Structure 1
């Protein structure tokens, strides 16, 4: 492994200040110094988090603030464009890196230098930082590949695994920088952009390496973008359109198993069904209708 190899940690921010400060602190606490942190404030209404981040006295930390809100997809794309390291992590502003995160990523990189993405072991925490496990996480665990780790997937096997049930925790992933920058995020997506990029990497010949060494805490809470877009049904409108596109694309490519998994997208439909009670409790009958149509359609 080259001594110049490092991890660019790109942190798009729009959220709770306390979670954000903890996320930044977890980067500063890494036991390896082979990282760079770039914080991109997407015009969050309160300037206090940006001002705090700008005061961090560490030459490896760069802070940028947008004049207007660009949204998730464009901010993620900017993260790729501003990166230049061999490996790139698009870190969640409410998540936590364990002190060995960078070290473990570089260990995996040395073993799998040509991988497309490295997925380290993760744990799930709630809004207060306590270990938790939701129905979504139980489903993800069911679809997550089994067997000795690290485990490497590629080609149609990788496409089937991710399409059948997107078990990844996106903010934990370290992407092959050169490959991810060349491909970029597909425009127009606010929910499936991580899955879309992973499958695009797969089609370009990149592999996915899955590890069990837990070095990352993924925070799941009701105010996250994925959570509120699930309750109002909008995430499933996007998912339905994307999986329909995938089914056609995989079929044309000759990946029949992947096309079948995309056409069925059972895990997405099950996730929608389990969200219906929350929509009804919030008196969102329109959202409940969207969820039911997605879950129960033939």
Structure 2
């Protein structure tokens, strides 16, 4: 059996999805299986997959729209192979992504998560270095020379201060992810919640600097639309307070403090305020301001 289950929850732009699939087909390491879960109704998509003629590619269309979280959860439920990648339907793998990850797994057998090097591209495929990603790299990402194993309270505190991970690029150990699953009631922050749950369960991560993945950041995304309305930060506030209590109970006070202060999330809300003001959304402005200027000391 292959080693890698590559899962692609799909909804939206057909051409970008096809580019993602082609990047999997172009892997130098052939030890993979791709499963595409189509949550949309775009015409011609089933026919395109049928024409590929590659038995490593499995395609299924949901009979009804599940939405982002439930479709991601379906991908986890369908995992069968030892290692898993749940990539975005508009992201791209470099041809040596799997070969690089395999090498890291051979050096660190049993590791729960692998975060390889990532570069960010825009909607046209151009490599970009926007403000959000500069902040991730310079303020929040740890110092790594080559590769580094992280885990426990150290990594939990780091990602809770500012989530510098790129979720679609991570390779997971399937038997670690399947029992944890995505948390109900979360949408834009579900990736962070999954990582924290795994860290609390004792899993570790290898962080590597070799760039093997292209993460697509669009000018307007689901998360940024929610950010202007403040919805994203209502969810984030609730999650940070809840997880802080759990981390205190686990005896991880530094991570609990990082969750309560959530500095990157508050900074993000502050940067969204001008756009919300221009849009004239009073409720969104109020929610963003409350999140940005909260003391971070509340526990309820």
Contact 1:13 1:39 in 2 (8 A): yes
Which of residues 188, 196, 200 is equivalent to 2:197?
200
Asked whether 1:277 is paired with 2:278, we answer no
* C-alpha distance in structure 2 between counterparts of 1:231 and 1:19, whole Å: 25
Residue in 1 that maps onto 2:30? 33
Asked whether 1:292 is paired with 2:252, we answer no
Residue in 1 that maps onto 2:298? none
Shift of 1:137: 0.9
Which of residues 108, 113, 117 is equivalent to 2:113?
117
Q: 1:66 to 1:5 in 2, by over 3 A?
A: closer
Shift of 1:233: 1.6
Residue in 2 that maps onto 1:264? 261
Residue in 2 that maps onto 1:143? 140
Which of residues 182, 186, 189 is equivalent to 2:186?
189
Contact 2:2 2:33 in 1 (8 A): no
Asked whether 1:63 is paired with 2:59, we answer yes
* C-alpha distance in structure 2 between counterparts of 1:82 and 1:182, whole Å: 12
Give 5+ residue unaligned stretches, structure 1.
none
Shift of 1:210: 0.5
Q: Which string of whole-angstrom CA distances, capped at 9 and with x for unpartnered residues, describes residues 5-30 of structure 1?
A: 51111000012112111111111111
Which piece of structure 1 moves more, 221-230 or 117-126? 221-230
Q: Secondary structure at the match of 2:36?
A: strand
Contact 1:23 1:97 in 2 (8 A): yes
Shift of 1:238: 0.7
Which piece of structure 1 moves more, 136-145 or 115-124? 136-145
Q: Which string of whole-angstrom CA distances, capped at 9 and with x for unpartnered residues, describes residues 226-249 of structure 1?
A: 222222221111111000001111
Residue in 2 that maps onto 1:53? 49
Which of residues 167, 171, 196 is equivalent to 2:168?
171
* C-alpha distance in structure 1 between counterparts of 2:274 and 2:293, whole Å: 15
Kindly report the root-mean-square deviation, in angstroms, between the aligned alpha carbons of the 2 structures: 1.3
Residue in 2 that maps onto 1:79? 75
Shift of 1:147: 3.0
* C-alpha distance in structure 2 between counterparts of 1:150 and 1:198, whole Å: 19
Shift of 1:199: 0.9
* C-alpha distance in structure 1 between counterparts of 2:43 and 2:62, whole Å: 11
Q: Secondary structure at the match of 1:122?
A: strand
Q: TM-score, normalised by structure 1?
A: 0.95
Shift of 1:82: 0.6
Contact 1:222 1:228 in 2 (8 A): no
Q: Secondary structure at the match of 2:81?
A: coil
